[in-house]
Amino acid sequence: MELHELAMTALRAAGVYVLMLLVIRIMGKRTVGMFTAFDLLVALMLGEVVDEIIYGDVTFSQGAVAIGVIALCKYLTSWLSYWDHGFDRILEGAPTVIVEDGKLLRKGMRKERMSELDVMSELRLNGIDDIEEVKLAMIETDGEVSVLKHAWAKPLQKGDLGGDLAKRKTHGGNKDGLKTRTASATS
C-alpha cells in the first residue's frame, strides 16, 4: 500500500469520525444508551457505511448521504414513536412480564426464551435473592430486566422509623422528648 493511500484512509477516517459525532449528537442520547432492536439495526447499518467510507469503497459524499438518510430515518421514527405509542410498539416491542407477585410467568418466559435459571440470575443481578420479594419483573424493550419489590421487601429508610424520632425533631425535643432552651432564649 502506498503512503498516499494510507494518508487518504486516515483522512477519510477522521472525516467519518467528525461526521458520526455530529450525527449521534443530533440523534440524541438514547442512540448511545441502551439499545432496542431498532437501535441496534441502525448502529449496524451505520457501521457498515462507515466501513465502506473509510476504506474508500464509496466516496465520502456518497457515504455521508447514506449516513444522513439513516440518521434522518431514525430521527423521524423516534418522533413517531414519541407521538404515537402504537408505532412505538411496532418498532420497539412491548415489555414482557416474567414474574408477578413472587410467581414465575411461564408465558412471558417462553416468549423471551428464558429459563427459570435465567430469571433467577437476572433477579440476583437486581439484588433479589428471594422471588417472593418481587412484585413485578419485566423484560424491557431494551432487553434489561426491571424489578419492582413488594413494599414489605424494601429496606427500612430513616423516614420509615417515624413515630418518636419525627415528633422530637418537629417539637424541638431532645432524646428524652424534653424541650431544650437555646442560648438566645436564656439571654
Sorting pLDDT into bands at 50, 70 and 90, what band is 182? very low
pLDDT in tens, 1-11: 688 888 888 88
pLDDT in tens, 37-96: 677 778 888 889 988 988 888 898 898 899 888 888 888 888 887 787 777 777 777 899
The rounded radius of gyration (Å) of the Cα atoms in the chain is 28
User: Which value, to the nearest 10 degrees, does the dihedral of the CA atoms of residues 163, 166, 170, 172 take?
Assistant: 100
d(C-alpha 54, C-alpha 69), whole Å = 18
* Domains of the chain by residue range: 3-91, 96-153
CA distances from 41 to 34, 47, 58, 97 (A): 13, 10, 21, 25
Phi, psi torsion values for 161, nearest 5 degrees: -65, -35
Per-position DSSP letters for 134-181, written without gaps between them:
EEEEEE-TTS-EEEEE-GGGSPP-HHHH-HHHHHHHHHTB-TTS-B--
CATH number of 96-153: 2.60.40.740, 3.30.240.20, 3.10.20.30, 3.40.50.11270?
Answer: 3.30.240.20
CA distances from 93 to 37, 55, 64, 109, 144 (A): 9, 36, 30, 15, 13
Which residue is listed with cell 462507515?
A: 50
Answer positive or negative: Cα dihedral of 76, 77, 82, 85: positive
pLDDT in tens, 128-165: 989 999 999 999 887 889 999 988 877 766 766 665 55
